Amino acid sequence: MQIYNTLTRRKETFEPLEPGRIRMYVCGMTVYDYCHLGHARVMVAFDVITRYLRARGYDVTYVRNITDIDDKILRRAEENGESIASLTERMIAAMHEDEGRLMVLRPDQEPRATGHIVEIVDMIGSLIDKGYAYAADNGDVYYRVRKFADYGKLNNRDPDEMRAGARVEVDEHKEDPLDFVLWKAAKPGEASWSSPWGEGRPGWHIECSAMSTCCLGETFDIHGGGPDLTFPHHENEIAQSEAATGKLYVNTWMHAGAVRVNQEKMSKSLGNFFTIRDVLEAHDPEVVRYLLVASHYRSPINYAPDSLGEARKSLERFYTALEGVVPQEGAVDVRFDQRFVAAMDDDFNTPEALAALFDLARELNRAKKEAPEQAPALAFELKRLGGVLGLFTQDPSTFLKGGGEALPISEAEIEARIAERAAAKKTKDFATADRIRDELAELGIVLKDSREGTTWVFETPATQDD
């Protein structure tokens, strides 16, 4: 298995620290607002990675943290006139609801920063004892960046270049402008915890160092996160953790690609910012998941109505192949499985894995017509491999009739129009029959005639052919 390591900037043969066991930590959400599409990208990417590693037989311990104390959380709670606990609990519940709808499995452990204050304080104390951190006269504690010889290795940056080219916050309490905060002294009325340096709260970076070490040990296999976290967050995690323990922090660093909206960076200032629940109000969750899975996890994704339309059309091809077949385990051509595994072993190449599944779906369609006895085993294999990607979990007929997307008219009305059309055809009133078919087509209801009668599927305007 080859995995691209952000630290070395190349694909490497993956070998876990312990044979058969993988320990993975992924930076989770700061819970002050609803999760957006960028969060969905990370959620789904590492969900697929976890599912595949387990399908390959590894015992995976997947940890994804929750940042539940942070400047943004303090500000939002004050703006809302609610307690920090009320805000964070509400947002955590919403996050779990969003990921559940996207078929994202819950991590094995979901540590919260406020639950690890003791470990955070202990790690900061160790860094001070070793000369890597210092308590300032304002009650803050800072990390000495220049003390850590390897600072910048994840991002291939030199501290002196960072100092010259970066916008560094001027703080008279710091020894060096590059130093970053480990412990923040509390302002009057703020949430705080006791420490040897006074009442305060942890800085963001130290939270993940302490939680990951506590849950997975001083060195673990994989650390993942979003594309915007390599600097400074992950760079600072490395500096803190390796200085505190004297050991390599992480073997393999993985980062998901960014989400763009109509080829632009997603941001509130551009007015193109979408929460997960915004998107799921209008689209079947599996369609959204497919869009996220269909691109390689390291590649940027462009979110646009057309791209979701294409995602739905692709899923329709799979569900059309599965429709009318009861999956049953049996003998199938092993080349489909081999192609799927080879693709996923190559840095989790989901586009190539899906290409193998499209060929399997074509073989299933052929079998349905020419060798029906082979179809159940092929359908079983398609659902089995698709399940590794978290796909093909719905009833085919339900999905093809609209699934989670709102129909423009009720199913009863559609069936009534189909019956009306059938009656018109019986009396050879083909003009009326064609008019009914065209009127339904304008609504996205596509009729399919066969010897057994007329069935229908719902296609959103974006999925229909020009």
Interval 382-401: pLDDT, tens: 999 999 999 999 999 889 88
**Dihedral over alpha carbons 393, 396, 400, 405 (to 10 degrees):** -30
Does the annotation place 184 within a ligand binding site? no
**Structure tokens, 303:** 């979110």
What pLDDT score does 451 carry?
Answer: 72
Q: What is the pLDDT of residue 460?
A: 59
| Whether this model's pTM surpasses 0.85 | yes
Tens of pLDDT, residue by residue over 342-361, are 999 999 999 999 999 999 99
Q: Report whether 105 contacts 51 (CB < 8 A).
A: yes
Q: With a cut of 50, which residues of the chain have pLDDT below it?
A: 164-167, 404, 462-466
What pLDDT, on a 0 to 100 scale, did the predictor assign at position 456? 81
Which pLDDT score is estimated for 97?
Answer: 97
Is 35 flagged in the annotation as binding?
no
Segment holding 317, helix H or strand E: helix 305-322
Q: CA 11 to CA 3: how far, in whole Å?
A: 5
In this prediction, residue 466 carries a pLDDT of: 31
According to the model, what pLDDT value does residue 455 have? 78
283 is in an annotated binding site: no
What's the confidence (pLDDT) of residue 465?
A: 39
The answer to whether the annotation marks 255 as part of a ligand binding site is: no
The alpha helices in 130-265, defined as continuous H runs, are: 159-165, 204-216, 235-245
First vs last C-alpha separation in the chain:
42
- Whether omega before 232 lies within 30 degrees of 0, making that bond cis, reads yes
Tokens representing 391 are 């796909």
Q: Which residues of 109-124 are buried (b: 16+ CB within 10 A; e: fewer)?
A: ebbbbbebbebbbebb
CA 124 from chain centre, in angstroms, equals: 31
Report how far residue 55's alpha carbon sits from residue 59's, in angstroms, rounded to the nearest whole number: 10
Output the pLDDT for position 266. Answer: 74
Give me the residues paired with residue 446 across strands.
Answer: 457
pLDDT at residue 165 in the model = 44
3-state secondary structure of 191: coil
Q: What is the DSSP letter of 230?
A: I
* 296 belongs to an annotated ligand binding site: no
